[in-house]
């Protein structure tokens, strides 16, 4: 399987890092990574993770400025793309088809080739403009997986919450994630 992972400049870049770690554990998974300039800044502000560590988790890392990269063409076959987190600027670019950088171009290519694009939009609260753009992306084939808190599975830490989100994203590609705890029915509530 070959996936593109985009990390844009929204808060929550740690989710992108955790996604890369999860994908690295999967056999026969080829990961193409794009990190926007805003994401680099957010890694500096929100984490102690060196950007070079992300490149080690991917098979290929592409400059967001390189519109001639392999993943900018539909003839380079992938199984789809995950943008985690997806800034509202990125969502707006996808919604309008404004492919000014590689992250937006790769998403545009996946959509035109009918490949899965999963967006993990990160903003709070959402304005009507944000909601309109998210709906436009969904109407054009994107799966929208917002990083919402989940409590039914006993996720009591930030890491467990992120694992749940990663599990939900990977389900979109038919991939099982060992750290994902699914709903087991109401009997679990009575224990």
Annotation: binding site: 9-11, 36, 87-90, 122, 152, 168
Q: Show binding-site residues for FMN.
A: 9-11, 36, 87-90, 122
Q: Show binding-site residues for dimethylallyl phosphate.
A: 152, 168
Residues 169, 84 contacting (CB under 8 angstroms):
yes
Return the DSSP state at 120: E
Integer Cα distance of 136 and 131 in angstroms: 8
146: nearest Cα among 123, 130, 116? 123
Return the DSSP state at 152: T
Integer Cα distance of 78 and 113 in angstroms: 10
The angle that helices 88-96 and 102-112 make with each other, rounded to 10 degrees, is: 50
Residue 86, both tokens? 């997806």
H-run or E-run covering 53: helix 51-57
| Burial (0-12, 13-18, 19+ Cβ within 10 Å), 87 | buried
């Amino acid at each position: 399987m070959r996936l593109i992972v985009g990390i844009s400049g929204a808060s929550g870049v740690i989710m992108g890092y955790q996604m890369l770690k999860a994908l690295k554990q999967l056999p026969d998974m080829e990961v193409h990574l794009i990190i926007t300039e805003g994401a680099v800044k957010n890694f500096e502000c929100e984490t102690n993770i060196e950007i070079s560590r992300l490149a080690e988790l991917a098979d290929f890392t592409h400059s967001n400025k390189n519109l001639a990269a392999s993943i900018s063409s539909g003839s380079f076959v992938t199984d789809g793309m995950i943008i985690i987190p997806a800034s509202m600027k990125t969502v707006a670019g996808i919604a309008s088809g404004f492919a000014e950088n590689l992250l937006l171009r790769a998403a545009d290519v996946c959509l035109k080739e009918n490949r899965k694009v999963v967006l993990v939009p990160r903003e709070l609260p959402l304005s009507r403009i944000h909601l309109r753009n998210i709906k436009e992306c969904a109407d054009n084939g994107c799966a929208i997986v917002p990083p919402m808190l989940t409590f039914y599975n006993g996720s009591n830490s930030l890491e467990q919450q992120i694992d749940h989100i990663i599990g939900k994203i990977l389900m979109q590609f038919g991939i099982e994630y060992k750290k994902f705890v699914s709903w087991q029915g109401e009997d679990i509530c009575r224990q």
